[in-house]
Chain A
Amino acid sequence: MPDSEVRAQYLSLALRSRRLIDELIRYLDRRERVPSLHEDLRNALDSINAVDSSENVLALYSKLSSKSLVSHYEQLRLIEDVRLELGTDISNTIMRFIEHDKNAADQRDDAVTVLRFFSAIEARALQGYAVEMQVART
């Protein structure tokens, strides 16, 4: 695959993750709930779950849209790597956070976990982008 395509995909994933990170920081630091946060997390969940099973992959691609967190193979692979590395059941944590079924302290803990997950994705994607830039230069 041409370097420029891989680079573009990494950068896109980083910038889309950043949108979620910004929203989560506002929630955690200023107790502001950004109206779009839940919808953005639900869209992200489809992409995160896609790596679980063939059925979920088919479901993701059947309703691919401009709001999807990922839309390319390399992006899904990166998410899978981060999931394995962090070892948390991130899908459940996101669902719990969205559904508000815990007390405020636990809710905050879930928000921190979700933030760390998307921060890891962003950091890994930015790193991937930088590496691809180096490869392109050499």
Chain B
Amino acid sequence: MDVFDAAALRQDSASLLRFIATVVDTCSSQADYPSYLKPSEDFFRSIRELGAATVAFLDAFPAGLPTDPALYLDYRRKLTALRQAWTAIHEYVKPAVEAHTLGIPSPFIEALIHRFNLIPQFQDSSFALIHTHEVMYYQLRASWIRDKIKEISDLVGIDSPFPSNLGIIALPYSQSGGLFLNCAIAHEMGHFVFQKLQLRNSFAAAVVGSLTTTLGAEISTLQPNDLTWMIETVLKWTEELFCDLFALWLIGPCFSFSYIELFDMPYALEDATSRLPFVKFYDVHPADLLRLQQHRVMLVELGWWRTFSRVDSHYVSILNKSEPLRAEDFVVVASRAPAICVQTRSVFFHVIPAIHSKVHSLFVGVDSGVEEFERLSGTVEEYLWRGVIPSTVFTELALRYPRITTLLNTAAKVHISSLDKLLDQVKEGGATSPQKRSEWTSRLELWTIKALEDSVILERTGHTWG
């Protein structure tokens, strides 16, 4: 068999076809168990459709062999491109199959999506979850699979079967039953928004404007390579900060507390040594302390800080202590000339107000939940101290139905500042054992998750918080 003949092409097409069939089989519906939320089923369906289209394409591929032998290898390389694209899809399929309803905090996810759907531009959006072995939620851009599916669709001549309103979120496999750390999922929802609205493109124009303003005539002296790096870097920082601020608008300060816990930051400003890791900007993300500083700005703007600034917790202290930091306090770590790094930092600081504005603009007409929190959280907190699920609370001489923002942030407040009151109530008072505290924190999470499940049902059946 000659490597340049149609028979070889048929065999290579068949080989790729078999590989794709095995990937598709993995997400083919089988029995009732395990069960998946509808968004995951939609995701699997899109993979199956893409698989069927790719198989049909491959079946016809050998017949399209160019008559000019000089074009053969250019034509043949399409199989390599498709194989690698399907290898990328392959990476996502098993993590999605593993994220069935017993492997994810379903009520929390549904409550989050319910709130997300209040945003005017995202009323019909949903999210499928996949498991990741990474602990850092922030390191996996799960929604890139949308682009890959679209690009493969283009190559095999179909419209993308990936639902336009579907996002993908990666959840560390170990956190299937947790709540507080999973507040980071709100940040991932921000990535979906950023990509769906193509904010990278609009912020790119803003970054160019900021560069022109900040550098003036000096801009023409920059090497294209450096200039590209500066724009790209600022855009990455912009997306990360946007997603943080989006998460804060969506669910409130519990997001900041999950961030502080995940990155072990409560004492990040105690001295120069503890500060150092957190003042560094890397090429993919801004400095952690800059992020916390901007969290606080957003929480003040939204009104959350009226209550939380007074909460006695080292989690709150670090947010307050980040307030006076200035641009010069941060360091950009990159293999670029120091002047380029400093200029890049300046350009980013120039863009920050536009990021805040963009986030606020998305939530026009959406209730931040602050007023409800200020009225109900005291009662919800008392319920939690007593181990009572606060789906419905009695206060102000009436039954009230707290929503996700009140439930999450009150539970987070108990977690960071008043767990001892819960321990007192359950006769574990004075417990100094971290293990005991951990056990009761897990129960606190379970009660809150149950309340979240109820709150979605109550809201859908017309029960309003006020």
Q: Is B357 close to A, CB under 8 A?
A: no
Q: Are A73 and B74 in contact (CB under 8 A)?
A: no
Q: Are A15 and B77 in contact (CB under 8 A)?
A: no
Q: Is B461 close to A, CB under 8 A?
A: no
Partner of B151, one of A16, A22, A55, A56: A16
Residues of B within 8 A of A119 (CB): 73-74, 77
A104-135 Cβ-contact flags toward B at 8 Å (1 or 0):
00000000100100010011001001100100
Q: Are B147 and A12 in contact (CB under 8 A)?
A: yes
A10-47 Cβ-contact flags toward B at 8 Å (1 or 0):
01101110110110010011000000000000000000
Residues of B within 8 A of A64 (CB): 200-201, 204-205
Residues of A within 8 A of B139 (CB): 2, 4
Residues of A within 8 A of B151 (CB): 11-12, 15-16
- Cα separation A73 to B225 with both chains bound (whole Å): 8
Partner of A25, one of B71, B80, B141: B71
Selected interface stretch from B23-31, B178-186, B227-235, B441-449: B227-235
Q: Are A66 and B204 in contact (CB under 8 A)?
A: no
Interface residues on A, range: 35 or more
Nearest B-chain residue to A63, judged by Cβ: B205
Q: Is A62 close to B, CB under 8 A?
A: yes
Partner of A29, one of B68, B200, B232: B68
Q: Are B84 and A14 in contact (CB under 8 A)?
A: yes
**Given A57-B224, A73-B229, 15 extra CB contacts under 8 A:** A1-B283, A1-B284, A8-B141, A8-B144, A8-B148, A11-B88, A14-B84, A18-B77, A50-B228, A54-B219, A58-B208, A73-B228, A73-B232, A112-B70, A130-B84
Which A residues are closer than 8 A to B by beta carbons?
Answer: 1-2, 4-5, 7-8, 11-12, 14-16, 18-19, 21-22, 25, 28-29, 50-58, 61-66, 71-73, 76-77, 80, 112, 115, 119, 122-123, 126, 129-130, 133
Would you give 8 A-B contacts (Cβ < 8 Å), ordered by A? A7-B88, A16-B151, A29-B68, A29-B71, A65-B198, A65-B201, A126-B80, A129-B84
In the A-B complex, the 5 residue pairs with the smallest Cβ-Cβ separation, listed nearest first, are: A15-B151, A73-B232, A29-B66, A64-B201, A61-B204
